[in-house]
Chains A and B, each alone.
Chain A
Amino acid sequence: MFSYTIFIMLLPLLSFIVLGLAGMKMQHKVAGLIGTCSLGMVTILSYITAFQYFFGLDRVNGVYQTFVPYNFTWLPLGNLHFDLGILLDPISVMMLIVISTVSLMVHIYSFGYMHGEKGFQRYYAFLSLFTMSMLGLVLATNIFQMYMFWELVGVSSYLLIGFYYPLKPAIAASKKAFIVTRFADMFFLVGILTFGYFVDSFSFNFAGDIVMGQGTTPFIEGNLAKAVAAGGFIIPTALVLMFIGGAGKSAMFPLHIWLPDAMEGPTPVSALIHAATMVVAGVFQIARMFPLWIEYAPQAMSIVVWVGVITAFYAAAVACAQSDIKRVLAFSTISQIAFMMVALGVSLPGHHGAILDNHAQLGYMASMFHLFTHAMFKACLFLGAGCIIHAVHSNEMALMGGLRKYMPITHITFLISCLAIAGIPFFSGFSSKDEIITACMEYSPVVGWIMTGIAAMTAFYMFRLYYGIFWGTENKEAHAHHTPHEAPLTMTIPLIVLTVITVGVGVYTTIAGFAEWGGSFGSFVSAAGTDYTIHFNMQIAATSTVIAILSICLATYIYKGEQQPIADRLYATFPKLHRAAYKRFYQDEIWQYVTHRIIFRLVSTPIAWFDRHVVDGTFNFLAWGANEAGESIRSWQSGDVRQYAVWFITGSVALTLILLCI
């Protein structure tokens, strides 16, 4: 049925191998075309898959079925086995659409953006590698395969952040990203092993029945009873450990420190990896393990909620004070991913019998929905930022201002995406964010109001960014030698496509939400796999819209003018707060202190001494001994055949004697 899905994995792998091995001998154009064409085919295949999956199949009891077209046992180890395969269910198919669309847009965009760069072919090879790994991650049939591809996306992210490797900050940023996420992944691995040890399976087969509430056997494969008998805390512990890994990839506080620095990579890479796909891997992981969370670890869900809330607030606060446009977008990404995390966390069980109630359905659906819409508009924002950087050759807002005259297309698309992220009705962000806030309100009004406040901050800092770039004073000095100009077609077309998706999805889902139509996002992706009709809670929708508009007005009032007296006065009144926010509340410094002063000095130094003197000494002694022994037995090998025969017979006799003695 879905046997062609294997090509979704193979095509990018193939283009990675071709470009990696032979890319340097190709012309830039050829290499780019190979990468883009293979990705184009992947996109087509993904769309066909999605179409066939969502529309071509009948639901059984109103539930989308899970398909496993391939599952190949790679390494059997007793009961446990590592498999490689492809699993299709609503969320993985949805992720296929997101990844292939954004990746294709980035491939096209990079033609213009990376034009003439040294290492153009290498860049496309890494993009293919990344896309392959990300697709493998979402299509994984078991947690171990997910982990493997999880590490592969980490590697490709490392390679792409460090793309400009002659520049020092790029190297530092790539190392930082790798080390921080690896540190978190260590917990992920421990979680996987704990899970595998107690449950005897890595498979995602548990999905099915718990949520959908039809079966009686929670685990099709594996031995849950054993895990529960071993202690009720085993599964929650494993899940929380996995969540730490997810928090590292998804840049949750306090493991977020790598993401802002990762902006040293080329901007399209930031759009693809650090906004739309890889950074949501943590959210995807929780969604994947969701049946286990709500069934066996509902209390632990509050960890997810509060980590999300803190991160969302922190990142929004920092974003208000940044001056580098990519940094603003990076913190905004962190904050938005935290929204998705919170939405998953607030999907508390509360299921009656085995059927989930609305409540859990809503949070899960909202989280996935926001993942989808966010990927589109945030990729658009990043690509727009890329156009701007391309035009003014700087990331600093101080060098921009008044660009709307020069770059109309970028301006319009950027504005629409800002409206979407701010949560204005008829733009895609509104529908998804509103559902998140509704879910939070149902969970607890406190969380709900905090999230509403953060949504207001989001609208504020995004429009601060927008006005800073496109309005305000034009920096004539910077533009004296070089007038900014609109980006070439290869770069503007992806912007337009993403904007059309944002508006189209926004208009349709907004109307569908108010009119309570079926066939909106909830019909395709929901926790139970059933058709879930979205309907807005009018009160919340109205409140959040009003708040968003007020925030935008505030930002307009403060930042739109040529002179910005209020902003200056605010700096003057709270210089320390601004400084702290600009410095990201000193998170990097705290980590530096902990690692360098405490871990390196108190733990690593003594261990290094032990290693250098005791361990090395022992081995040097052994090596010296082996060398001496080798020297002293050299004479045995004399070259004299008679002597060989003597040794031969002596050996045989000696062996006989020994065997006779035992």
Chain B
Amino acid sequence: MNYSEFLNMVPEFVLVLALIIVFFADFFASRNAERKASLGYLTMLMLIGTAVTSAMTEPTQAFGGIYVTTAAINVMKAILAFGSLVVVVMATSWVEKNLKLAGEFYMLILSTLLGMFMMMSSGSFLLFFLGLEMASVPLACMVAFDRHRKESAEGAAKYILVATFSSGVMLFGISFIYAATGTLYFDDVCAAVSNSPLCIMGLVFFFSGLGFKISLVPFHFWTADTYQGAPTPVTGYLSVISKGAAAITLCTILMKAFAPMVEYWDYMLYIVIVLSITVANLFAIRQNELKRFMAFSSISQAGYIMLAVVGNGQLGVAALTYYVLVYIVANMAVFTVINVVEQNNGGRTDMAAYNGFYQTNPKLSFLMTLALFSLAGIPPFAGMFSKFFVFMAGVQNGEPMAYGVVFIALVNTVVSLYYYLLIVKAMYITKTDAPLPTFQSDANTKVALAICTAGIALFGVASCVYEWIAAAGI
């Protein structure tokens, strides 16, 4: 075995190094509160390093094609490392309450990220599955991180149960593919795959497994319970990072391994996208619990993300990556606000807690409004541009069905506008005798909000961001 091939896996290598460093730092910082508190900054530094090295890495492969990266994957890795950075920044105020376990939390984040990186740059179903599991198991720990809260444990239990189940189904699907083609390498699968019922069953079952990770309808049921139960920073992490990684993986595998079956999976995506967007919107309309509400919002956003994959086109990867980037900043802004409100409010996350929020905390409610506008796709915020590119990618092949799906998605943006504005209404218009008291958020929260708001405001109008992604996607 040629060990020098490990050098081709730079981002993963950096992450492993980061894990080791954080582990030892945590080990030597034992019981010293001040040192523990600085672990967060160390992790941030590591994530910045990961993001930079990912962005600078050239496309390579290693170990006979089991590990493959493209320029688009590297960009996505950089974006996900950036997203994790935002999560860590916003999580510090919450982690400080569990200082004893701070090291574990940061290590879990780094190890899930490592799993996702593996999954994204896999060239074979084998490495893909390993990466997926490597990302899933630590995530369950993170969901259960608030050990003393019943909901947290319940969310984690549901997550791990459904994850196991979906892994089983997916392995089942992969075994069908193996039976039909005799290989696990994507390139070879592509050459051997046919439209036989065996392959179709393999495709659907494989898709179900990733559909669970992306939380597409009908594989989404765990989402609401887990999002609600998990600590808020973890919910944020689940909703953007985990989803983004799974989405790009699904995109590459469909385009690489299942390219000959494009008609089939296009059709499958049409159904799933329409279901995801519509059903999630219908659920979201009636939610009073903000984290549950954000769960349904994220399901419907997942539908929009998948729209980029439709049509197997050039634009797809770039549109998807851009969408994930914009979604990261907007969603993390919302979760940061939810997090600080929760911290200052005895853990309330229901929508009624936000009534009259504007009277007492005008700046926070303003930033939250901007983020919600971006999620709803109101110009001139970045969300409008990302939706536009996704729609454009969806119809680039000129399929009549695709136009229909995009039309339904468009109608649903109006519905989503309604429920996002419900929160705005609660904050600005609904009068209440006892609004939340005014509070001062800590420095890290401010930094996280500043990063997110800058992203919301600038990623759309600064065309260079999209061009950077598009250049990598083609």
Contact = CB atoms under 8 A, between A and B. Distances in A.
Interface in B193-242: 197, 200-201, 203-205, 207-208, 212, 217-219, 221-222, 224-225
A652 B169 CA distance: 9
Most-contacted residue by chain B among A623, A627, A641, A659 (CB, 10 A): A659
A659 B279 contact: no
Nearest to B173: A652
Contact of B285 (A630, A650, A656, A660): A630
A637 interface: yes
Interface string A205-233: 00000000000000000000000000000
B277 to A, nearest CB: 13
Nearest to B296: A637
A238 B415 CA distance: 39
A652 B204 contact: yes
Interface stretch (A71-79, A267-275, A324-332): A71-79
Interface in A66-100: 73-76
A305 to B, nearest CB: 40
Interface residues on chain A, size class: 20 to 34
Nearest to A633: B282
B179 interface: no
A487 to B, nearest CB: 41
B169 A656 contact: no
Contacts of B165: 645, 648
A593 interface: no
A329 to B, nearest CB: 38
Contact of A627 (B166, B263, B264, B286): B286
A76 B463 contact: yes
Dominant SS among interface residues on chain B: helix
B267 interface: yes
Interface string A618-662: 000001001101110110110101011101111110011011101
A626 B415 contact: yes
Nearest to B158: A641
Contacts of B208: 648, 651-652, 655
B282 A648 contact: no
A630 B286 CA distance: 6
A119 B162 CA distance: 60
A648 B201 contact: no
A655 B271 contact: yes
A356 B222 CA distance: 77
Contact of B463 (A75, A645, A652, A655): A75
Given A652-B204, A659-B204, A662-B267, A644 B222 contact: yes
Contacts of A74: 463
Given A644-B162, A648-B169, A650-B218, A623 B267 contact: no
Nearest to B221: A644
Contact of A630 (B200, B204, B271, B282): B282
A630 B283 contact: yes
A99 B217 CA distance: 60
B41 interface: no
Interface residues of B, number: 38
Contacts of A631: 286
B158 A647 contact: no
Contacts of B268: 655, 658-659
B285 A648 contact: no
A639 B289 CA distance: 15
Given A641-B162, A659-B200, A659-B264, A648 B283 contact: no
Contacts of A639: 225
Interface in B260-290: 263-264, 267-268, 271-272, 279, 281-283, 285-286
A633 B201 contact: no
Nearest to B166: A648
A656 B201 contact: yes
Nearest to B285: A630
B439 interface: no
Interface of A is mostly: helix
Given A76-B463, A634-B286, A648-B166, A658 B218 contact: no
B200 A656 contact: yes
A365 to B, nearest CB: 39
A637 B166 CA distance: 18
Contacts of A660: 197, 200
Contacts of B279: 633
A76 B463 CA distance: 9
Given A76-B463, A623-B418, A630-B283, A637 B221 contact: yes
B20 interface: no
B224 A637 contact: yes
A627 B285 contact: yes
Of A76, A633, A634, A641, chain B has the most CB atoms within 10 Å of the CB of A641
Given A76-B463, A637-B224, A656 B218 contact: no
Q: Which of A75, A629, A639, A644 has most B Cβ within 10 Å?
A: A644
Contacts of B222: 641, 644
B161 interface: yes
A181 to B, nearest CB: 22
A76 B225 CA distance: 43
Contacts of A634: 283, 286
B221 A647 contact: yes
Given A76-B463, A627-B285, A648 B162 contact: yes
A621 to B, nearest CB: 14
A641 B161 contact: yes
Contacts of B283: 630, 633-634, 637
Interface in B277-310: 279, 281-283, 285-286
Nearest to A652: B208
Contacts of B272: 655
A655 B162 CA distance: 19
Contact of B267 (A76, A629, A659): A659
B230 to A, nearest CB: 15
Contacts of B219: 648, 651-652
B264 A629 contact: no
Contacts of A75: 463
B463 A73 contact: yes
Nearest to B208: A652
Nearest to B275: A651
A629 B158 contact: no
Interface string B341-361: 000000000000000000000
Interface in B1-54: none
Contacts of A662: 263-264, 267
A637 B286 CA distance: 12
Interface string B151-170: 00000011001100110010
B320 to A, nearest CB: 20
A648 B286 contact: no
Nearest to A634: B286
B463 A629 contact: no
Nearest to A656: B204
Nearest to B205: A652
Given A637-B224, A644-B221, A645-B165, A655 B204 contact: yes
Interface of B: 157-158, 161-162, 165-166, 169, 197, 200-201, 203-205, 207-208, 212, 217-219, 221-222, 224-225, 263-264, 267-268, 271-272, 279, 281-283, 285-286, 415, 418, 463
Given A637-B224, A647-B218, 13 more contacts: A626-B281, A626-B282, A631-B286, A641-B161, A648-B162, A655-B268, A655-B271, A658-B267, A659-B204, A659-B264, A660-B197, A660-B200, A662-B263
- A-B interface, 4 closest residue pairs, ranked by CB to CB distance from nearest: A651-B218, A644-B221, A630-B282, A630-B285
12 contacts: A74-B463, A623-B418, A626-B415, A633-B279, A634-B286, A647-B221, A648-B165, A655-B207, A656-B200, A659-B264, A660-B200, A662-B263
